[in-house]
Amino acid sequence: MRASLYLISTLKETPSDAEVISHQLMLRAGLIRKLAAGLYSWMPLGLRVLRKVETIVREEMNRSGAQEVLMPAVQPAELWQESGRWEKYGAELLRVKDRHEREFCIGPTHEEVITDLMRNELRSYKSLPANFYQIQTKFRDERRPRFGVMRAREFIMKDAYSFHIDTASLDETYQVMHDTYHRIFTRIGLDFRAVQADSGSIGGSSSHEFHVLADSGEDLIAFSTSSAYAANIEMAEALPPVADTLPAVELSKVATPNQTSIDEVCAFLGIEANRTVKTLIVKAGKESPSPLIALVVRGDHTLNEIKAEKCLHVTSPLAMATDAEIHQHIGALPGSLGPVGLQIPVYVDRSAAALNQFTCGANENGFHLSGVNWARDCPRQVAVVDIRNVVEGDPSPDGQGQIQIKRGIEAGHIFKLGNKYSTAMNARVLDAQGKSVIMEMGCYGIGVSRVVAAAIEQNYDDKGIIWPTAIAPFTVAIATLNAHKSDAVREAAEHLYQQLLAKGVDVLLDDRNERPGVKFADLELMGIPHRLVVSERGLTEGTLEYKGRRDTDNQNIPAAQGLAFLLDKL
RNA sequence: CGGGGUAUAGCGCAGUCUGGUAGCGCGUCUGCUUUGGGAGCAGAAUGUCGGAGGUUCGAAUCCUUCUACCCCGACCA
């Protein structure tokens, strides 16, 4: 491609509404432009990257034995009513009516459509297992789209759905997809980890997320320092702690005027947060005999909402009680709450429960209790559960090493769906005995457009993007200097350009009549991995100049060896 | 959905408090010079000051209302 014929729309200034680096650089390098909140156009340069990611995904999915299909983005309400998700999915599902007032949605995912399609096509166990995928635009009406294409409303996703006669077959394909994802992210050139994950609203039994590691990631991942254990922090188990080394002491009530946060109370009383507990009051579900439920974690820990939602009668999603509700049932306000004497169900985190003496709110505004002992002071039955987030230094749940925590961007997610959708939608085949059985299903997603942003989050410097070669919009850029007044420069650059094209290299010939600084700045901002400079000065000495995007210095190479040198680099 | 903020040229912003001819930088266009790190000089174009209503002799500026967008939280593959 010749830059003089190509839309290179770089910006010197950073658009003010771009928060994260990938969003800023995608705008500045001219990859995308915003149309509305969470809706982006892909410009030529950006689309080249997107297509390269798609190509790798497609090649590896095909290699795994999956078959590509393409399903409609618009889906009839009836299918979603059949699976029960028309009601459950909530406002994130964009619902529309056609001219006949029939209800549809813009697909945020395609379990219903594929299950409907395949319950009609798959009749026999002999057709199984089968895995179908598509690369398609999805729409989720995110409450708060942000970070550019990282969390857009409309985005491109590769989604795959597998069908099986039994769970053993599902397990096999699940492992194949696990391996395939590993190949895909490795080929793209990202630093990533597969981690155990919560299966969330899609449902199902087992699930792994593939995270691109980056400081700007929205998810926290817990790793073991000495084993392969890795899990989303939502899932990572906090093991029961070792027994408290301090003995029980006498209970006392202390005045703590206007000290409501753990930090304030600790500073006021001169104690450590790990000798306090905090009591969170949440709303209970309709079936619950008590309208409120207390959740207790140690003062230096934070509540894990995913874990808490699994406690009996706690609502999902978790809903904190209002101050008015708390005052009505307990007689004190948040900041002075504690488990002693509570008349509502109490769930206590393992670490909090292990304390022999601790400080907590007295359920009387402006007072705390010190020296509290569970057995002596909270004789009512309390349930000891795991409801906190793990922290760095906790023992790894697999018993090997300690936990360390990093941030990740969720780029892929694989689920064992089991028979959730096939049961709801009656997707059956005949087995070897001629008996009709419900199929087992798996589903496997990759956020293709998100991968583009994630790659930038992981690969940039103060000059701009640094693409992994496999997904760079162009692999090589040839920049001519002063070409307008040098036939030799034009000819040498053109010759090299043609040779690289003939070798199938994605090469950008920067033949624009721009000053050198402009070309260098643009090529660096756009993140092209390899740059060759053809100049009159160099040609006089018989050299070209090469610089890799991550290199700090240029190197001169003999002009005659330019092609071979470059091919060796690729 | 709760809280906060913003809306003025393609982009980044000033002007709004205290009403009186709409500005700056970058970018864009033309010409000349220039060409190894985002050039210089000269000239030029570009705005329903987010929309609608109101107050006023006069509104970017004050009032009412609507919309869009952004941030924090909640929520979420």
- pLDDT digit string, tens, across residues A58-93: 999 999 999 999 999 999 999 999 999 998 888 889
Instruction: Give A486 CA → B40 C1' in Å.
Output: 23
Q: Work out the average pLDDT over A184-213.
A: 85
Query: Nearest nucleotide by C1' from A37 CA?
Result: B69
Nucleotide nearest to A18 (CA to C1'): B70
CA of A11, C1' of B45: distance in angstroms: 21
**Which residues are paired to A111 by β-bridges?**
none
- Identify the pLDDT of residue A9: 92
Nucleotide B11 C1' to residue A450 CA (A): 25
DSSP conformation class of A321: P
Beta strands A292-298 and A346-349 are parallel
Q: How far apart are CA A411 and CA A350, in angstroms?
A: 33
Mean predicted lDDT score pLDDT of chain A: 92
Q: What is the DSSP string of A429-467?
A: EE-TTS-EEEPEEEEEEEEHHHHHHHHHHHSEETTEE--
Judge whether residue A310 contacts strand B, using its CB and a 7 Å cut-off: no
Which bases of strand B have any atom within 7 Å of the beta carbon of a protein residue?
1, 11-13, 25-27, 34-39, 68-77
Q: What is the 3-class SS of A222-257, one letter each residue?
A: EEECCCCCEEECCCCCCCCCCCCCCCCCCCEEEECC
Is pLDDT larger for residue A496 or for residue A287?
A496
Token readout for A505 is: 């290299």
* A558 CB neighbours strand B below 7 A: no
- DSSP alpha helix (H) spans, A73-110: 77-83, 85-88
How many CA within 13 A on the CB side of residue A562? 28
Name the closest nucleotide to A35, judged by C1' and CA.
B69
Distance in Å, residue A484 CA to nucleotide B31 C1': 18
- Strand B atom within 7 Å of A38 CB: yes
As a rounded value in angstroms, the CA-to-C1' distance for A489 and B71 is 50
CA of A448: nucleotide with nearest C1' = B77
Give the pLDDT confidence of A125-181 residue by residue, as tens digits: 999 999 999 999 999 998 889 899 999 999 999 999 999 999 999 999 999 999 999
Asked whether residue A30's C-beta has any atom of DNA/RNA strand B within 7 A, the reply is: no
Q: Which phi and psi angles does A518 have, rounded to 5°?
A: -65, -45
Distance CA A498, CA A476 (A): 13
One-letter amino acid identity for A379?
P
Nucleotide nearest to A410 (CA to C1'): B77
Per-residue flag: A410 CB under 7 A of strand B: yes
Which nucleotide lies at the shortest CA–C1' distance from A38? B69
Model pLDDT, residue A378 = 86
Residue nearest to nucleotide B72 (CA to C1'): A144
pLDDT at residue A160 in the model: 98
Is the CB of residue A322 inside 7 Å of nucleic acid strand B? no
A47 alpha carbon, distance to own chain's centre: 21
pLDDT at A201: 54
Return the nearest residue to B25, CA–C1'. Answer: A13
The separation, in Å, between residue A25 CA and nucleotide B5 C1' comes to 24
Q: Which residues contact A105 (CB under 8 A, 6 or more apart)?
A: A74, A75, A77, A80, A86, A93, A94, A95, A96
Q: Whose C1' is closest to the CA of A8: which nucleotide?
A: B27
Dist. CA A165–CA A126, nearest whole Å: 9
Report which secondary-structure segment, H or E, holds A119: helix A111-121
Render pLDDT for A239-295 as a digit per residue (tens, 0 to 9): 988 888 889 999 999 998 888 888 888 889 999 999 999 999 888 887 888 888 899
Retrieve residue A251's tokens.
């209970």
Please give the nucleotide, over all strands, whose C1' is closest to the CA of residue A479.
B36
Q: Which of A44-48, A382-386, A410-414, A437-441 has the lowest mean pLDDT?
A: A382-386
- Residue-level pLDDT at A368: 93
Residue with tokens 């008590």: A290
Q: Is the CB of A550 under 7 A from strand B?
A: no
Is A137 (CB) below 7 Å from strand B?
no
Nucleotide nearest to A316 (CA to C1'): B75
* Protein residue closest via CA to C1' of B39: A515
- Residue A41 CA and nucleotide B46 C1' are separated, in Å, by 25
Tokens 């018993």 found at: A399
Nearest residue, CA→C1' of B38: A518
Q: What Å value separates CA A480 and C1' B14?
A: 40
Contact, A13 CB vs strand B, < 7 Å: yes
What are the strands of the beta sheet with A74-76, ordered from one edge? A74-76, A103-106, A94-97
Residue closest to B13 C1′ by Cα: A16
A145 touches strand B (CB under 7 A): yes
Measured in degrees and rounded to the nearest 5, phi and psi for residue A376 equal: -80, -40
Stated in angstroms, how far is A29 CA from B21 C1'?
40
pTM score: 0.92
Structural contact between residues A269 and A368, judged by C-beta atoms closer than 8 angstroms: yes
CB of A535 closer than 8 Å to CB of A482: yes
Query: Which residues in window 348-407 of A are less than 7 A from strand B by Cβ?
Result: none
Decide: helix, strand or coil at residue A482: coil
CA/C1' separation A35–B8 (Å): 21
A144 touches strand B (CB under 7 A): yes
* 165-224 of chain A touching strand B, CB 7 A cut-off: 200-202, 209, 218
- Per-residue pLDDT of A306-357, as tens digits, reads 888 888 888 777 888 878 788 888 888 888 889 998 888 899 999 999 999 9
Phi, psi of A365 (to 5 degrees): -55, 130
Q: Measuring from the CA of residue A525 to each C1', which nucleotide is nearest?
A: B38
- Do A23 and A148 touch, CB atoms closer than 8 A? yes
**pLDDT score for A205:** 65
A121: Cβ–Cβ under 8 A, 6 or more apart, which residues? A127
| pLDDT computed for residue A197 by the predictor | 87
> Do A306 and A389 meet the contact criterion of CB atoms below 8 Å apart?
no
Alpha-carbon distance of A206 to A416, in angstroms, equals 5
In this complex, which residue's CA is closest to the C1' atom of nucleotide B27?
A11
CA dist., res. A489 & res. A495, Å (int): 10
Q: Does the CB of A481 fall within 7 Å of any strand B atom?
A: yes
**A9-18, A306-315, A371-380, range with the lowest pLDDT:** A306-315
